[in-house]
Amino acid sequence: MSILVLGLGNLLMQDDAVGVHAVQRLQQQFQFPPQVRILDGGTLGLDLLPYLEEAEQVLIIDALEMRAAPGSMHRLVGEEVPRAFAGKLSVHQMGLQDLLAVAELQGTLPAEVVVLGVQAVSIDMGLELTPAVAAALDGLIDAVLEQLQCWGVTAEAA
């Protein structure tokens, strides 16, 4: 069993970076068993295909546009995943939609794909998360750890 935890986003575009901030915090604060890879996918798009092909389960962490309350958290599974990225929030998400489609066409789409996302407030140029999204980061980390536990993985504090 191999699990990929993939944080997406652009660190130069405020809330778009929430996925990257989340994986950075996971890498700093926790230790994971060898079958778990925590990856800052940034804005790499199709360049992430080899990582996706190696995984049986993928957890994507990202900013989402769900027309919901600022900073609210959302969990997407199954058919909800491609629909969420059809109305792209930012440049990298079109790449993610393409990535999932190519993996599916090649027969290498992981058995389970889960997206944990936070409703963005702003994706304007800026290095800081907005207060609403920054406040959601702890809950997002907890949700990641909870999903990993559902997959039989327990993280230890670093």
User: Which one-letter DSSP state was computed for residue 13?
Assistant: B
Task: Give the HSE-up count for residue 131: Cα atoms under 13 Å, Cβ half-sphere.
Answer: 0
Per residue in 2-15, pLDDT tens? 999 999 999 999 99
The overall average pLDDT reported for the chain is 90
Domain at 3-157, CATH homologous superfamily: HybD-like (3.40.50.1450)
Long-range contacts of 94-99 (CB under 8 A, 24+ apart): 94/45, 95/43, 95/44, 95/45, 95/46, 96/8, 96/45, 96/60, 96/62, 98/45, 98/46, 99/45, 99/46, 99/48, 99/49, 99/52
What does the pLDDT average to over 17-36? 97
Per residue in 30-67, pLDDT tens? 999 999 999 999 888 888 999 999 999 999 999 988 88
Per residue in 94-108, pLDDT tens? 567 788 888 888 999
pTM: 0.92
Between CA 74 and CA 68 the distance in angstroms is: 9
Assign 115 a pLDDT band (cuts: 50, 70, 90).
very high
Per residue in 64-93, pLDDT tens? 888 899 999 999 998 787 655 655 554 445
Residue type, 53: E
